[in-house]
Amino acid sequence: MATDLIKWLKKAPLLSPSEPNLLNPNNINDVEQCELSPEVVTVVNEEITSASRKRKRRNYQHYDENIRAKIGKYAVNNGVMNAARKFTKELGRHVGESRVRGMKQSYLKAIRSGKENVNTLPTTRGRARLLGSELDSKVQLLVPRLRIKRCC
C-alpha cells in the first residue's frame, strides 16, 4: 500500500519533516517501515482520484416526447437561446442550445408533414429502416416463428 502511494507522490528535494509523525519522502525505507493511519490513506486517495487527468463526461440527458415538443414549440416562437435558458431553469439541468436547435428542427418537420397540433416529438435513433416501420415490425414477428419451425 505504501509503495502505491510513493508512485503517486512527486519526489522533490525536501528537508526532513518538521513534525515527528510526517514521513520523509526522500527516505523510502522510512515509508515502508511505518504504518499509515486510515485518515491519511483516505485523504491521499481522495487527492489522487480528484486529480485525475481525464476529463469526466456528463451523463447523457434524456427528454421525454412531451418535453421535446414543448421545447421545440417554445424555440420556434421565442428563439433557441431563450428556450435553452427557460428550460434549463424549469428542468433544473443544463439544456444546451444545440439540443434545442435539434428539437426545433424536428418540431418544424412534424408541422410540415401535416400535423396541426404537435404534442409529442418521438426520437428516432439508429439507422433508418429499409423496409419501413410496418414491414419491419412484421418481419421481426415472422423471423422467430421461422426459426422455431426450422429447429423442430
Low-confidence ranges of the chain (pLDDT < 70): 1-38, 41-42, 44-55, 152
* Predicted pLDDT of residue 88: 95
* Predicted pLDDT of residue 33: 46
* Predicted pLDDT of residue 19: 47
pTM of the model: 0.50
Burial classification of residue 72, based on how many CB atoms lie within 10 Å of its CB (0-12 exposed, 13-18 middle, 19 or more buried): buried
* Predicted pLDDT of residue 37: 65
* Predicted pLDDT of residue 78: 96
Cβ atoms of 54 and 46 within 8 Å: the answer is: no
68/19 Cα distance (integer angstroms): 60
